Chains A and B, each alone.
Chain A
Amino acid sequence: MASEAAVAERHATPAQIVPWWERNLAWLLVAPMIVMFVVFALLPSLTAILFAFSHIKLTRGGMQRTFIGVDNFQRALEDPIVRQSAGITLKWALVVTTVEILLGLGLALLLAHGVRGRGVFTSLLIIPIIMPPVAVSLMWFFMYEPNFGVINYLLNQVGLPSVLWLSDPNIALYAMMAVDVWQATPFAFLLLYAAILSLPRDPYEAAAIDGASRWHIFRTVTLPLLLPVLGVVVLLRLIDAARVFDKIFVMTRGGPGSSAYTTTLTVYVEAFNKYDFGYASAISFMFQVVLVIFGTIYVRRVMADYSAPAES
């Protein structure tokens, strides 16, 4: 090894050729995104935790915060509305995800052999995916309208009675779930379909030569190959469905009554109708803890193929 000191001495020049910002370029490039994370995720999250342990009173000039320990959490756990909304959120997430995945998967499998006009069909399915949820809500709100909405009109035409789609507490939640299914099934389909089309052909041919039945091939070949993507789609739908807000807010404001209060809606009402920031933060904090579990699994799945670059 050459004398390290001698080498270091002769290295004096590079410092002038390579300015400091270039030597630390990697850090400088990731810095803005880290700053954003700190300002918009880390600090708010920490503040939210602080809020959750506080009673907050909004005043003219700002707000007064008093530390009250776990009172907010205790209250939340006993609050029937919070409990009810947790149940509704869970029901919404599970039902909506199950239906969307099953429909999407079924459709994807049906078209696995290819279909004429595939391009047009998939383009078509992008419409609901990218439509603003508000526009979707308005569209369905009008179709659900009891007196001159098109759905009741069609029901009447075939001799069925009108239904109070969005004002019957027993129906409203499901009617809104249908809207979500309308919007998000194409999403599940497109992802699963892309995955199915990119499956390797060989196992199929091998299985077909072996004389395996369709169901057997699906269970032993397609499903295992599809499972990673299926997992990602299920998790993503669960996470997104559990946060549902816009559709319910626009169509019924969580109603009729509080029959369609999801957790996000409950937090919204507590925070921005009743301005009880502390209480709202406590509820949302518990909500976040649950979602983080699913979220972490999801991100890990999505990143399964990621590897860092080999060399600088």
Chain B
Amino acid sequence: MMRLLGSRGEGRSAPVSFERVCKRFGAVTAVDDLSLEVPNGEMLVLLGPSGCGKTTSLRMLAGLESITGGTIRIGETVVNALPPRARDIAMVFQSYALYSHLTVYENLAYPLRVRKLSKAEIDHRVRDVAQVVQIEELLDRKPRALSGGQRQRVALGRAIIRRPAVFLMDEPLSNLDAKLRLHTRGELKRFQRELATTTIYVTHDQAEAMTLADRVAIMNGGVLQQVGPPKEVYARPASVFVAGFLGSPPMNLLAVEATSDHGAPSLRIGETPIPAGDRLGASISRLRTNGNAAILGVRPEDVVLHRTEEPGSVPSEVFVVEDLGNERLVTLNAAGQYVVARVHADAPAEMGDRLWFAFDPGRAHLFDPLTERRVD
């Protein structure tokens, strides 16, 4: 690893910028007005459900997909019309896309041979990288004789051997089994930090996104929803979509009524009024809706269960209880709205029990039901 870092120099990591980028396939808009700055050396994870435009964005950056509108830059260069080979990028594909007719050695050497490096230089680098990704003993094999994990390593090796300005990774871990995926995830993070090369990483797996990313960019329906460090995105989701997408189980989203109780702002869930407190109260005053409707977001871990009625608690019935070992998930039915509470494994709850749930308004989130954006 150190040697690899030490010999750096020809490839210099570069920032990436998307400026109002659009992609249309006929009448379908796959990516809509995407603007995104990725500073040098950052690991940015594009996260979203399938079909959200994250892979299309990556492929536009790679030059594998034409750009309908807007500008993509790598460093100072506008790359819109450049072929992939002129963009100084390396990519790891979901399928690994190893050259099945070539040996592992030839796979690793491929990007260098294309660039007509000397034989000695190529050999030196191939062995170097093989050592880094621990596939030295596999160099003479063909890809079909490798396990899934080994293939993944070769694909990674083929990407880092180039020392490109930007790494592109399209769900590189999704074809690995769960255990190997966790292990590789950690390794990947170390590689990225040590190489300090700008990396755009596409995944639909939020755990992967949260653990790997310097910043996460969440997309839905071709539209960028929010960009920020994992902690921040988790703590302050910018939209109903982000709130409902992140977290496992995701944030509870409840239709509430914003009212005022003797001048103090409060919320009403069903028939129950809940004093909003200062922070949430301020949010309520900024709601721009015509009526009083709002969407309230509460993380399952912020839901507190009571066996008896307390002030500001909402009556509900236990719909189902799921034990996870160290904790349990209690799904409540509160007048037709479902709320999940993540509670201690010993917390008493049985299907059909009548319980009251409450939450700290200071930790709740408020969204505008029309724009579905966060209101602060």
Contacts and interface: CB of A to CB of B under 8 A. Distances in A.
A–B contact via C-beta, under 8 angstroms: yes
Interface of A: 1-2, 7, 10-11, 13-14, 17-18, 22, 310-312
A312 B66 contact: yes
29 contacts: A1-B20, A1-B69, A1-B70, A2-B19, A2-B20, A2-B71, A7-B71, A7-B78, A11-B78, A11-B80, A11-B81, A13-B77, A13-B82, A14-B81, A14-B82, A14-B83, A14-B86, A17-B82, A17-B83, A17-B86, A18-B81, A18-B82, A18-B83, A18-B86, A22-B83, A310-B25, A311-B65, A311-B66, A312-B66
A308 to B, nearest CB: 13
A162 B3 CA distance: 92
B70 A2 contact: yes
B80 A7 contact: yes
Given A7-B78, A14-B86, A17-B83, 5 more contacts: A1-B20, A2-B19, A2-B20, A18-B82, A22-B83
Interface string B72-105: 0000011011110010000000000000000000
Contacts of B66: 311-312
A21 to B, nearest CB: 13
Nearest to A310: B25
Interface residues on B, range: 10 to 19
A18 B81 CA distance: 9
Contacts of A310: 25
A2 B66 CA distance: 17
A310 to B, nearest CB: 8
Q: In this complex, which of A10, A13, A310 has the most chain B Cβ atoms within 10 angstroms of its Cβ?
A: A10
B95 to A, nearest CB: 17
A10 B86 contact: no
B292 to A, nearest CB: 39
A11 B78 CA distance: 7
A7 B82 CA distance: 13
A1 B82 CA distance: 19
Top 6 nearest A-B pairs (CB, nearest first) are: A14-B81, A10-B78, A17-B86, A2-B71, A11-B81, A14-B82
A185 to B, nearest CB: 39
Q: In this complex, which of B20, B66, B81 has the most chain A Cβ atoms within 10 angstroms of its Cβ?
A: B81
A309 to B, nearest CB: 13
Nearest to A11: B81
Nearest to A14: B81
A134 B83 CA distance: 53
Contacts of B25: 310
Contacts of B71: 2, 7
B74 to A, nearest CB: 13
Contacts of B70: 1-2
Contacts of A14: 81-83, 86
A11 B72 CA distance: 12
Contacts of B78: 7, 10-11
Contacts of B65: 311
A288 to B, nearest CB: 38
Interface string B129-161: 000000000000000000000000000000000
A4 B19 CA distance: 13
A303 B210 CA distance: 47
Contacts of A1: 20, 69-70
Contacts of A10: 78
Contacts of B77: 13
A2 B71 CA distance: 7
Nearest to A18: B83
A311 B86 CA distance: 19
Contacts of A7: 71, 78, 80
Contacts of B69: 1
A125 B25 CA distance: 48
A116 to B, nearest CB: 32
Interface string B333-358: 00000000000000000000000000
A291 B19 CA distance: 57
Interface string B13-49: 0000001100001000000000000000000000000
Contacts of B20: 1-2
Contacts of B86: 14, 17-18
Contacts of B82: 13-14, 17-18
Contacts of A17: 82-83, 86
A14 B81 CA distance: 6
Contacts of B80: 7, 11
A310 B65 CA distance: 10
B142 to A, nearest CB: 28
A143 B65 CA distance: 64
B165 to A, nearest CB: 15
B176 to A, nearest CB: 28
A11 to B, nearest CB: 5
B53 to A, nearest CB: 15
A1 B22 CA distance: 10
A2 B72 CA distance: 11
Interface string B285-325: 00000000000000000000000000000000000000000
Nearest to A9: B78
Contacts of A18: 81-83, 86
A197 B19 CA distance: 54
A2 to B, nearest CB: 5
A107 to B, nearest CB: 38
Contacts of A11: 78, 80-81
Nearest to B85: A17
Nearest to B71: A2
B301 to A, nearest CB: 43
A311 B26 CA distance: 11
Nearest to B79: A14
A225 to B, nearest CB: 32
A81 to B, nearest CB: 56
A101 to B, nearest CB: 41
Nearest to B22: A1
Interface string B260-281: 0000000000000000000000
A60 to B, nearest CB: 58
Nearest to B86: A17
Contacts of A312: 66
